[in-house]
Amino acid sequence: MTVREDDVPPAGKPRKSARARVLDVVRWVAILLVVGFAARQLALNWDEFWHTLADVAWQSSVLSLLALVVSILVSTWGWQVLVDHLGKPIGYARGAQICLVGSLGKYVPGSVWAYLLQMELGRKAGLARARIFTGSLIQLAVSVVSALVVSLLAAPAVFSNSPRAVWLFVLIPVGLALLHPRVLSWGTSLVLRLLRRPPLAQPLGWGVVLKAFGASTGAWALQGVHLWLLANSVGAPGVGGFVLCVGAMAVAMTVGTFAFILPSGVGVREVAQVAVLTASGLTVGQATAFAVASRVMFTVADLFTAGFAAAAARLSARRAPAPTAV
């Protein structure tokens, strides 16, 4: 079996085995659990969130949230491009359901749950777990390198507040070298072998790597737009602050990704955001308030896109013609 192989369900609608029914229950319990953790994060910061938005024009708040939603959709497209390369194309609606609902697992302490849930949702949709895991693994590598490159925009602010952050930028040449299709294919196959999974059946090409890199870069830029719209509402950052905000989100999300013990990098992400926002002219109080508001808006956007993707995929499945026996 190779990574390109899918688990194709038999024709017709056979009665589910007891094991399949148990797995269905486990998946639903897992989904409800991660949604519960996400809702808890939302509730903990809700009061401060509304207090902060009271000083922000509603147009800026709405556009800021919209920028986040679009950034998540763009990032999901990059994930789908990688998964499609590993087998039969799955379509955006189906891929978004797996990627976005599964990604809610990041709100559970120990962000590895997001990858486990994505694999289980992929298996439920008839895809090999190895294929989903491989796509997520490659996207993680590409997005981290993309974030390191984009974070150069915030280099002055980051260095002035945290000189030790220089190690982030030292890694950029190494990261770019690792994104060469041959190197990335070799590294991915090596990790899969260590995990006792089949290696890549087909090496990655420049086309798929550049699409994934572009999607990640676009997502970072849109997240920077989100933060800038909030901060600019008090008249501080301006155009120069926009560049810093884009870099700040890249730094913050990268640091949050590696703080895997914490749910969705809680606390770590805000430190990076506050450091850059204060350098752009905001007070510590304003920067902290916007960092908290940003986290809440991320949670809202995650829940909204995951719910919409799940509903769209279910509607698409109902409209699809029933399989015929051969």
Q: Given CA atoms 176, 181, 183, 188 in this order, what sign does their dihedral have?
A: positive
Per-residue confidence at 325, pLDDT binned at 50, 70, 90?
Answer: very low
Domain membership flag for residue 8: no
pLDDT per residue over 197-252, tens digit each?
A: 888 888 899 999 999 999 999 999 999 899 888 877 766 566 677 888 888 788 77
For residue 39, the enclosing domain spans 19-318
Report yes or no on 203 lying in a domain: yes
Give the count of beta carbons closer than 10 Å to the beta carbon of residue 196: 6
Residue 323: its pLDDT value, please?
40
Please give the pLDDT value at position 5: 46
For residue 204 the two structure tokens come to: 């990655």
Flag whether pLDDT at 39 surpasses 90. no
- pLDDT value, residue 290: 78
> Does 236 reside within a domain?
yes
Q: Is residue 237 part of a domain?
A: yes
Residue 17 pLDDT more than 70? no
Residue 10 lies inside a defined structural domain of this protein:
no
Enter the pTM of the model: 0.77
In a domain, 293, yes or no: yes
Give mean pLDDT, residues 160-176. 71
Q: Which residue has the higher pLDDT, 195 or 316?
A: 195
| Segment 102-123, tens digit of pLDDT | 888 777 766 677 888 888 888 8
Which of 13-22, 36-45, 114-123, 257-266 reaches the highest mean pLDDT?
114-123
* 265 lies in some domain: yes
- Section 168-197 average pLDDT: 85
Average pLDDT over residues 12-33: 53
Instruction: Provide the number of structural domains found in the chain.
Output: 1
- What does pLDDT average to over the chain? 75
324 occurs within a structural domain = no
